[in-house]
Amino acid sequence: MDEGALVIEVEQGGDKKPMPPLLLVKSDGGLLYGTTDMATIIERVEEQKSRSVLYVVDHRQHGHFEQVFRAAAKTGIAGKAHLEHVGYGTMNGADGKPFKTRAGGGDEALRSDRHG
The pLDDT tens digits for 18-69 are 999 999 999 999 999 999 999 999 999 999 999 999 999 999 999 999 999 9
98 assigned to some structural domain: yes
Cα(69)–Cα(74) distance, integer angstroms: 9
The reported pTM is 0.80
> Residue 42 sits in which domain range?
6-115
The 3-state DSSP class for residue 20 equals coil
1 assigned to some structural domain: no
78 assigned to some structural domain: yes
34 assigned to some structural domain: yes
**pLDDT value at position 90?**
86
Q: How many domains does the chain have?
A: 1
